[in-house]
């Protein structure tokens, strides 16, 4: 039996998202039907809308979904109807990266997340009787219902029952990306300085995580003074506007150099300047989406001589459920107050939410599809 839902269809940059009825396929053995309560909006959704990533259009996007399980496929053992769940990216589970619990670097990332269909090529969604590209990040959660997979669906332990799903939703992408870069990838050491370039969701999550790690000082750099003020409330000890010689100010503050420079902007000049601030053994972590044609230039002697590292990081090196649960425990303990970043919008306000995000008025927009 097919299931019907309402989904926001993305037809590209020059079209608003439109919410239309769709049909979801019958569940494959590893799949989970989720009634979506909320879904965060991430820059990657907008990069697909703008045809910057190889995802077919039109498509149903949304990859920070949270909701309640409605049904499970015949092979699913980890979830059951009624469970509260949050979804994240998908992965194959049997490649050299998945074998060592590094699924953000899954060798089969594209077919499981960006092909618009299941990895075997079959569609999970139809629209007006024709296949519709979906299964985005193994979910397509800009919808009232979504088909997810056992590998990318995290059943929330009961101790998180007091955190509403419309708060938890963005933990599966932007928040884990910033926090994981600091805690998992760069493994920021207590007492060493960090500068975070870009105070969006990923940068703010990195700042909160740097505070958890005991980094000091924690320097936020952005062009938006409101965001810099929020960064200071969330853990930054210093905040510099990029327009006011932030690089010079960092040099003056930390003359020995930075232990960590973390770029979320994807801007070549910012990354190269950030790298130039590193102390010996320093790490420059890179997560920002950059122009595919860009190349970076670093001084070879400083690179080798100081044992410095340039580290590309995807999804905060998250290993799925264990890391997301660790972050939610930090939240409950008051050390990861990501709720401060969120503003809610009704599902039908999806275009207004995107506009507010692109204008810099909201850090993390979260759409509400239904009450919990």
Binding region for ligand CXF (CB under 6 A): 42, 44, 89, 104, 173, 177, 314-315
CA nearest neighbour of 194 among 223, 168, 215: 215
Crossing angle (nearest 10°) for helices 225-234 and 201-213: 30
Query: What does 91 bind: ligand CXF, Zn ion, none (CB cut-off 5 to 8 Å by kind)?
Result: none
Query: What does 104 bind: ligand CXF, Zn ion, none (CB cut-off 5 to 8 Å by kind)?
Result: ligand CXF
Residue 64 Cβ vs Zn ion, minimum distance, rounded to whole Å = 6
Q: What are phi and psi of 46, to 5 degrees?
A: -75, -30
Q: Which is nearer to Zn ion, 139 or 215 (CB)?
A: 139
Q: Which two tokens stand for residue 294?
A: 């860009």
Residue 170 Cβ vs Zn ion, minimum distance, rounded to whole Å = 9
Q: Which two tokens stand for residue 174?
A: 């932007």
Minimal CB distance residue for Zn ion: 42
Residue 194 near residue 210 (C-beta atoms within 8 A)? yes
Residue 175 binds to Zn ion (criterion: CB under 5 A): no
β-sheet bridge partners, residue 149: 31
Q: Which is nearer to ligand CXF, 63 or 330 (CB)?
A: 63
Residue 194 Cβ vs ligand CXF, minimum distance, rounded to whole Å = 21
Q: How many CA atoms lie within 13 A of 81 on its CB side?
A: 5
CA nearest neighbour of 173 among 135, 201, 197: 201
Query: What does 314 bind: ligand CXF, Zn ion, none (CB cut-off 5 to 8 Å by kind)?
Result: ligand CXF
The β-bridge relationship of strands 18-24 and 3-10 is antiparallel
Q: Which is nearer to ligand CXF, 42 or 59 (CB)?
A: 42
Q: Which is nearer to ligand CXF, 86 or 218 (CB)?
A: 86
Residue 137 Cβ vs ligand CXF, minimum distance, rounded to whole Å = 7
Residue 173 binds to Zn ion (criterion: CB under 5 A): yes
Stretch that binds Zn ion, among 75-83, 167-175, 300-308, 320-328 (CB under 5 A): 167-175
Q: Which is nearer to ligand CXF, 156 or 171 (CB)?
A: 171
Residue 318 Cβ vs ligand CXF, minimum distance, rounded to whole Å = 7
Q: What angle do CA 147, 320, 60 make, to 5 degrees?
A: 30
Query: What does 315 bind: Zn ion, ligand CXF, none (CB cut-off 5 to 8 Å by kind)?
Result: ligand CXF
Q: Which is nearer to ligand CXF, 188 or 287 (CB)?
A: 287
How many beta carbons lie within 10 A of that of residue 142, not counting itself?
30
Residue 44 Cβ vs ligand CXF, minimum distance, rounded to whole Å = 3
CA nearest neighbour of 41 among 170, 199, 204: 170
Residue for token pair 């759409």: 367
Question: Is residue 239 reached through a cis peptide bond, with omega within 30 degrees of 0 on the bond before it?
Answer: no
Residue 42 Cβ vs Zn ion, minimum distance, rounded to whole Å = 3
Q: Which two tokens stand for residue 298?
A: 């670093």
Residue 349 Cβ vs ligand CXF, minimum distance, rounded to whole Å = 21
| Site pattern 5..44 for Zn ion (x: CB under 5 A) | -------------------------------------x-x
Residue 313 binds to Zn ion (criterion: CB under 5 A): no
Q: Which is nearer to ligand CXF, 146 or 228 (CB)?
A: 146
Angstrom distance (rounded) from CA 65 to CA 99? 26
CA nearest neighbour of 283 among 304, 305, 262, 302: 262
Q: Which is nearer to ligand CXF, 117 or 177 (CB)?
A: 177
Residue 303 near residue 280 (C-beta atoms within 8 A)? no
Separation of first and last alpha carbons in the chain: 25
In the complex, the residues that contact Zn ion under the rule CB under 5 A are: 42, 44, 173
């Amino acid at each position: 039996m097919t299931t019907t839902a309402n989904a926001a269809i993305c037809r590209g940059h020059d079209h608003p998202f439109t919410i239309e009825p769709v049909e979801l396929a019958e569940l494959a053995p590893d799949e989970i039907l989720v009634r979506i309560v909320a879904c965060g909006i991430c820059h990657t959704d907008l990069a697909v809308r703008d045809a910057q990533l190889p995802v077919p259009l039109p498509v149903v996007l949304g990859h920070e979904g949270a909701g309640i399980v409605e049904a499970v496929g015949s092979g699913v053992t980890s979830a059951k109807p009624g469970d509260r769940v949050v979804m994240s990216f998908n992965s194959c589970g049997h490649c050299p990266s998945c074998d060592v619990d590094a699924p953000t670097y899954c060798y089969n990332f594209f077919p499981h997340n960006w092909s618009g269909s299941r990895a075997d090529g079959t569609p999970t969604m139809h629209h007006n009787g024709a296949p519709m590209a979906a299964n985005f990040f193994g979910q397509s959660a800009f919808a009232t219902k979504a088909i997810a997979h056992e590998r990318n669906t995290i059943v929330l332990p009961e101790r998180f029952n007091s955190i509403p799903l419309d708060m938890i939703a963005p933990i599966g992408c932007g928040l884990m990306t910033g926090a994981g870069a600091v805690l998992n990838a760069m493994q920021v050491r207590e007492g060493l300085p960090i500068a975070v370039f870009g105070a969006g969701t990923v940068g703010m999550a990195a700042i909160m995580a740097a505070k958890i790690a005991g980094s000091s000082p924690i320097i936020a750099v952005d062009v938006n003074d409101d965001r810099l003020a929020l960064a200071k409330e969330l853990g930054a000890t210093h905040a510099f506007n990029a327009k006011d010689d932030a690089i010079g100010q960092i040099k003056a503050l930390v003359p020995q150099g930075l232990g960590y420079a973390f770029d979320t902007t994807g801007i070549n000049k910012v990354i190269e300047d950030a790298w130039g601030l590193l102390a010996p053994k320093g790490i420059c972590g890179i997560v920002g989406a950059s122009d595919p044609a860009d190349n970076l230039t670093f001084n070879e002697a400083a690179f080798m001589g100081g044992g410095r590292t340039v580290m590309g990081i995807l999804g905060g090196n998250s290993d799925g459920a264990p890391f997301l649960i660790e972050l939610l425990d930090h939240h409950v303990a008051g050390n990861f107050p990501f709720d401060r970043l969120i503003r809610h919008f009704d599902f039908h306000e999806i275009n207004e939410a995107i506009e507010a995000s692109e204008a810099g008025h909201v850090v993390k927009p979260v759409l509400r599809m239904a009450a919990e």
